[in-house]
Amino acid sequence: MVSRPNIHVKSKVAVVGAGITLFRRRMLETPRELAWEAAKQALDSAGLTIRDIDCVVIGSAPDAFDGVHMKGEYLADGSGGLFKPTVRVYVGGGTGVFVPIAAWWHVASGLCRTVLAVAEEKMSPARPHPQGVFAYIWDPVLERPLGPNLLWIFALEMRRYMHKCNASKETIALVSVKNKRNALDHPAAQAAANITVEDVLNSEVLVWPVNRLDVSPVSDGAAALVLASENEARRITDSPVWIEGVGWTLDNTHWYNRELGYPRYVQYAARMAYKMAAIERPWRDIDFAEPYDPFDYKELHHIEGLMLARPCEAPKLLEEGWFDRSGELPTSPSGGLLGVGNPIAAAGLMKAAELFWQLRYEAGARQVKKPVHRGVAQAWGDLMQAGTVVVMGN
Amino acid sequence: MPDGGKKLPGTYLSDKDLRALPGLVEHTPEAKYMFSAGQAQSRFLQGLREGRILGVRCPRCGRVYVPPRSYCEYCFAPTGEWVEVSGEGEVHTAVVSYISTFRERMEKPEIIAVVRLYAPGYSGKGDEYEFPGMFHKLCGVSEEDVMTGRVIGMKVRPRWRPPEERIGSVTDLECFEPVKS
Ligand SMILES: [Zn+2]
């Protein structure tokens, strides 16, 4: 007997359309133009117009990237949100997967029949480098006086993971190699490449153990999904992709007061989503995954947080090709943030969109080899504290 | 979709293209802030000025918080009971930074660490996941010590700035350094 969560839904929720722009280092389009391009494409793919949409959910990460405050309001027209119940959500890097979660509850609650979910980020305007904008996420009293760089926290976490799991930089670099290679088949991709482990190890050392090619690039871009209630979805398409479970949690901002080798907050979010989806053995019941990979070690860290591998087991499975597109449990078949790019909120939504395309067998050259019934996408954010998870099935 | 058949929207610009655009706007936000450290951290910073590391203990669950919070996040109760820790601890993780906050290359790399502090009477209830700890710089160790992993688990203690230079900031603690045995 599967235990059911105490969550009452008025309707099942399906994804019925998806859209995406190019992901690039620098783009001509304004943030709202990028949002419009992705939103329009998502509507077109579902055969809908903006008049068919009841509610709009917008996701975008720190205002400081685009350099415009009230980004939700700013993006509202390009996202089709005028004169509709419209909301912007934000949980740092976790935002992209939080967008379909928020859109889900709009429909599951019975409040809206159709939702347009749009995520946008334009990181390139910040000068001299968007890294500087991250200075404002640190605690003003305890952390900023030390002159931190955002990469410090990732490097600290990666170093801890390497120590705890006895994982080498060489093994971890295989994630970057895999994802950049997968991205060669993604039309939006910014950082697709055929590279080797040596290329990663020989790239510029930023904060040891993090080299340049261990990290995803700075990107501009947008992505969008259309969600619908069960009745609407069946009218719109013969092949809806169902949202079977959602989960999200926040830990505190005191990241130096906890074990950095394992993301507890991701595990809690995953448990919530799996419970809703009646999944008891995720490592067996999930066919493929889009774990969040802004850094190569993060994919392994998150695979373990998602309980798709035991703690410290992911590096070994990676070496064995377990996570390749032709492997037992393909991860980041899209090419991930390392390969497709990392316009923060849009990158997370790109991962959710990949579940949609894979589960409809529409991913073309990216389609994973095995038959797929169920996939999980996950994002992570803030000061090692936000976990967002969505499970979809066909 | 997107299997490469159709060109996606979006127009890439090189930095040169961008600079040649009509109507390019440059803007530097001007904002200055004065942050109060709050109830718990103000006392913590006062402690640092005196060369002491202070924490608080939750009377309900026994968790020791360093840096201190005025409430227990788990019990949602006021903390209140102040404890002084020795400042000794062990390195949880450490890295070598070659770049500044704004990603400029630094002349001299810095070693950054998370230190798990020894807190007498700390009751973690067997949950090793959480611990009293600080994020700071590490001195007296080499880049190689970090890369080989020698520093992880290393016993360290605070190196304080001279009392007349302390201002009530986390930088009153210059760095953590190895405890020579
Ligand atoms: Zn407590």
Summarised one tens digit per residue, pLDDT across range A246-273 is: 999 999 999 999 999 999 999 999 999 9
Chain A residue closest in CA terms to B102: A132
Q: By the 8 A CB rule, do A112 and A231 touch?
A: no
- A315 to chain B, closest Cα gap in Å: 18
Whether the pLDDT of residue B125 is over 80: the answer is no
* pLDDT at position B79: 94
- Report which DSSP code applies to A91: B
Q: Which residues are in the CB-under-5-Å shell of ion ligand 1? A: B 58, 60-61, 72, 74-75
For A224-253, the DSSP string reads EEEEEEHHHHHHH-SS-EEEEEEEEEE--S
Mean pLDDT throughout A36-56?
98
Q: Are A104 and A244 in contact (CB under 8 A)?
A: no
**Residues forming beta bridges with residue A355, ordered by sequence position:** none
Query: What is the domain partition of chain A in residue ranges?
Result: 13-128+216-393
Q: Do B1 and A67 touch (CB under 8 A)?
A: no
Check whether B146 has a pLDDT greater than 50.
yes
Residue B127 has pLDDT above 60, yes or no: no
pLDDT digits (tens, 9 = 90+) for A268-294: 999 999 999 999 999 999 999 999 999
The radius of gyration of chain B's CA atoms, rounded to the nearest angstrom, is 23
What percent of chain A has pLDDT above 70?
98
pLDDT surpassing 80 at residue B121: no
Cα distance between residue B91 and residue B114, in whole Å: 6
Q: Do residues A273 and A389 lie in contact, with contact meaning Cβ atoms separated by under 8 Å? A: yes
> If you average pLDDT over residues A172-178, what whole number do you get?
98
Going through A188-298 in order, the beta strands assigned E by DSSP cover 205-208, 210-211, 220-229, 241-250, 288-290
Q: Which of A218, A215, A219 is nearest to A296 (CA)?
A: A215
Candidate from B4, B12, B103 with C-beta closest to A24? B12
The bridge status of strand A114-122 relative to strand A55-59 is parallel
- Rounded to an integer, what distance in angstroms lies between the CA atom of residue A89 and that of residue A102? 8
Judged by a CB distance cut-off of 8 A, whether residue B76 touches chain A is: no
Our CA-based measurement puts residue A113 at a distance from the nearest CA of chain B, in whole angstroms, of 24
B2 touches chain A (CB under 8 A): yes
Which is higher by pLDDT, A383 or A389? A389
Question: Alpha helices of A109-168 — where are they, by DSSP H?
Answer: 150-165
Query: Residue A2's pLDDT is what?
Result: 43
Per-residue pLDDT tens for A86-134? 999 999 999 999 999 999 999 999 999 999 999 999 999 988 888 778 8
CATH 3.40.47.10 fits A13-128+216-393, yes or no: yes
For residue B76, the CA-to-ligand 1 centroid distance in Å is: 7
Percent with pLDDT over 70 in chain B: 92
